[in-house]
Structure 1
Amino acid sequence: MERTHLTIILLSAFLVSSLLPHSLNAATGRCNPSDYEVLLKIKQALGNPYHLASWVPNTDCCDWYALQCNDTTNRVVELTIFSGQISGQIPSEVGDLPYLDNLTFRKLSNITGPIPQSITKLKRLRFLRLSWLNLTGPVPDFISELSNLIFLELNFNKFTGPIPSSFSSFTKLGALRLDRNQLSGSIPESFGHFKGSVPDLYLSDNQLTGQIPNSFANMAFSTIDLSRNKLTGDASMLFIPNGSSVIIAISRNMLAFDFSKVKKLSMQYLDMNHNMIYGSIPKAIVDDANLQFFNASYNRLCGVIPTGGNMNRFNYSSYIHNKCLCGPPLAACK
């Protein structure tokens, strides 16, 4: 009798254990059970915020707010937590969502601390947006392990220290945003040796010093924004003949080079105000029919402002406070 009773108990335990995953999956619908458990841990780590009120246990996580599942695999592929009343740090558990293609924490001013190293497990990740937060510490070198990234946005934070030179190892990156931080040191020379795609490069509003690497002459940056730093020396290597630049922004630095030696311009936007750039405005600027915005104010330029082409679209504010520029739209030359 005792043996029969024991057999019944063991059989019941086996049946219950074998049914648990199926019961969980039935309760959570399409949602993968592993992703479901991880998401609830993320919610708990963030203090169960109202922003994630739809993340209710025993419901289908693929219907929850701020995320998206793949229609075929039902795995979580996007986690976008945006503009809510959320405090704390980015939970390390985000690294346990192995199918993530897009990870976004954005406009959450009470999210602090470092980037968790667990994100290096997200080998499928293509979009990483951690911006308008209050992340601190250095920009971690380990981000370069995410070799499939095509968009990296870490701007509007409080990162300090140097820019990791390893970021030049990205081969698919279309845009790199490190602007609006407190980064220091020089721009990595390796950024003149990107393999594969050349990313739009945003490094403005930091505390970067030193010179722009000469290797930048090898890179056809479509957009490069180095403004509002403490850069010195030459920037003429950015003006590549027959280049594909659309936007060059180098304003509010301490750059000093002879602008008259620029032989050809082909871009839509050029802002170089508040530097120590000298020489004259080259005739090449007249030949650039694409130029929509130009600001060379607060420099040390001299000579007659070229006329013709589309030059009449630029008013006096493009030229004021230079050493001895003259001619329309400034005062006549003497």
Structure 2
Amino acid sequence: MCGKTTTLLLVLFTLLLTTSLSKDLCHKDDKNTLLKILKAMNISWVLEDDCCTWYSVDCDNANRVISLAISNIDVSGQIPPEVGDLPYLQYLTLRKLPNLTGEIPPTIAKLKYLKFLWLSWNNLTGPVPEFLSQLKNLEYINLSFNKLSGSIPGSLSLLPNLTALELSRNKLTGTIPESFGSFKGDVYGIYLSHNQLSGSIPKSLGNLDFNTIDLSRNKLEGDASMLFGAKKKTWHIDLSRNMFQFDISKVKVAKTVRFLDLNHNSLTGSIPDQWTQLDLQTFNVSYNRLCGRIPQGGDLQSFDAYAYLHNKCLCGAPLPSCNVKIKQPIFI
């Protein structure tokens, strides 16, 4: 009886040991795929047998790779198509790799569990891929600081779980898609700055309550007043350096706004008294066509004259008194 018990305990111990060791080894298919990716990108790390312990790799409880993050190292070439052969990948980060070139490979569309796509500060070219709209689990897209060109796919608005879209600092052209006024997901941030977008923005954008919207440094024009609203929860609005034209006199800004930059547009009217109720950390309305007395109170006098310069006829602190004749700038 004692011998049988000893044998049983030995078998159980062996099983436990085998199970424990197996948890330390990532799936062989994932390991082979990772080796191909690293070879294609000319990355030569000193690697352990268990790829789940590799730098910038994370696995789930089933030893499948769910995260790959490569940044701030010297790589070359394009994004390897084998990235699409990590079937359980949820997080893909390739950032600050200046020698990473080429287009975003269509094999990424195979990553049906992907939630987080961060491909910024590289030298990627080509379009913002239409196929991204097939990845229904995507929550975050960041393709900023690249050389992407062409128009923005309107189909991105169909992503049901999207919370943030970051496409700034590229060479994108065309208009903001009309469909962006009806995102399926609860999008809190949209960043499209430093591109070459043109035309008017969709009126339907006014239906959304962004936390952050940054459309700065484009060629956008027309009315953008629908982005404002006293009942919204917006924190950051940057419309600077465009060609927007609307009267701000009746524009009410949400009390949650801390960052408001409208400089270098063609805005008209006077600054509303309601803006004295804002708790502003950043504010700029310079280089517009505003007129009238700057309302007294709140944070409006905490900013220096540079926040108000080069308007049609603004006056009052921090600018000269409204009783003083000022030589006004000439607008062409």
The alignment's TM-score, normalised by the length of structure 1, stands at: 0.87
Aligned residues: 302
Name 1:39's counterpart in structure 2.
Answer: 34
Say which SS state the counterpart of residue 198 (structure 2) adopts.
Answer: strand
- The two structures, once aligned, show a CA RMSD in angstroms of 1.5
CA distance in 1, matches of 2:24, 2:160: 38
Quick check: 1:280–1:302 contact (8 Å CA) kept in 2?
Answer: yes
Structure 1 residue 282 and structure 2 residue 272: aligned?
Answer: yes
Name 1:97's counterpart in structure 2.
Answer: 86
Quick check: 2:234–2:254 contact (8 Å CA) kept in 1?
Answer: no
Instruction: Give the deviation of 1:55 after TM superposition.
Output: 3.2
Instruction: Give the deviation of 1:121 after TM superposition.
Output: 1.0
Name 1:80's counterpart in structure 2.
Answer: 69
Quick check: 2:245–2:265 contact (8 Å CA) kept in 1?
Answer: yes
Pairing 1:101-180 to 2, within 5 Å after superposition: 101-180=90-169
Name 1:201's counterpart in structure 2.
Answer: 190
User: Which digits, 9 at most, give the CA deviation of each residue in 1:198-250, with x for residues without a partner?
Assistant: 23000000000001110111011110000000001111001123111100000
Name 2:52's counterpart in structure 1.
Answer: 62
Structure 1 residue 189 and structure 2 residue 184: aligned?
Answer: no
Name 1:262's counterpart in structure 2.
Answer: 251
Corresponding letter in the other structure for 1:60: D
Quick check: 2:23–2:63 contact (8 Å CA) kept in 1?
Answer: no
Corresponding letter in the other structure for 2:40: A
Quick check: 1:40–1:55 contact (8 Å CA) kept in 2?
Answer: no
Q: 1:119 to 1:41 in 2, by over 3 A?
A: same
Instruction: Give the deviation of 1:54 after TM superposition.
Output: 2.5
Say which SS state the counterpart of residue 105 (structure 1) adopts.
Answer: strand
CA distance in 2, matches of 1:156, 1:119: 20
Quick check: 2:229–2:252 contact (8 Å CA) kept in 1?
Answer: no
CA distance in 1, matches of 2:208, 2:92: 28
Instruction: Give the deviation of 1:298 after TM superposition.
Output: 0.7
CA distance in 2, matches of 1:88, 1:310: 50
User: Which digits, 9 at most, give the CA deviation of each residue in 1:246-286, with x for residues without a partner?
Assistant: 00000000111001021344211100001110110011101
CA distance in 1, matches of 2:141, 2:241: 25
Structure 1 residue 299 and structure 2 residue 288: aligned?
Answer: yes
Q: Of 230, 250, 256, which residue of structure 1 is paired with 2:239? A: 250
Name 1:225's counterpart in structure 2.
Answer: 214
Quick check: 1:158–1:181 contact (8 Å CA) kept in 2?
Answer: yes
Say which SS state the counterpart of residue 163 (structure 1) adopts.
Answer: coil
User: Where does structure 1 differ by over 4 angstroms across 4 or more consecutive aligned residues?
Assistant: 26-29
Instruction: Give the deviation of 1:36 after TM superposition.
Output: 1.0
Name 1:329's counterpart in structure 2.
Answer: 318
Q: Which moved more, 1:274-283 or 1:28-37?
A: 28-37
Quick check: 1:200–1:224 contact (8 Å CA) kept in 2?
Answer: yes
Name 2:6's counterpart in structure 1.
Answer: none
CA distance in 2, matches of 1:147, 1:222: 22
Unpaired stretches in structure 2, ≥5 consecutive residues: 1-20, 324-332
CA distance in 2, matches of 1:67, 1:54: 14
Name 1:7's counterpart in structure 2.
Answer: none
Q: 1:233 to 1:118 in 2, by over 3 A?
A: same
Corresponding letter in the other structure for 1:39: L
Quick check: 2:164–2:190 contact (8 Å CA) kept in 1?
Answer: yes
Instruction: Give the deviation of 1:303 after TM superposition.
Output: 0.3
CA distance in 1, matches of 2:191, 2:202: 15
CA distance in 2, matches of 1:327, 1:195: 45
Corresponding letter in the other structure for 2:263: N
Quick check: 1:227–1:251 contact (8 Å CA) kept in 2?
Answer: yes
Q: Which moved more, 1:241-250 or 1:263-272?
A: 263-272
Say which SS state the counterpart of residue 213 (structure 2) adopts.
Answer: strand
Identity of aligned residues (%): 55
Name 1:4's counterpart in structure 2.
Answer: none
Quick check: 1:28–1:60 contact (8 Å CA) kept in 2?
Answer: no
Instruction: Give the deviation of 1:27 after TM superposition.
Output: 10
Say which SS state the counterpart of residue 94 (structure 2) adopts.
Answer: strand
CA distance in 2, matches of 1:198, 1:254: 25
CA distance in 1, matches of 2:300, 2:264: 21
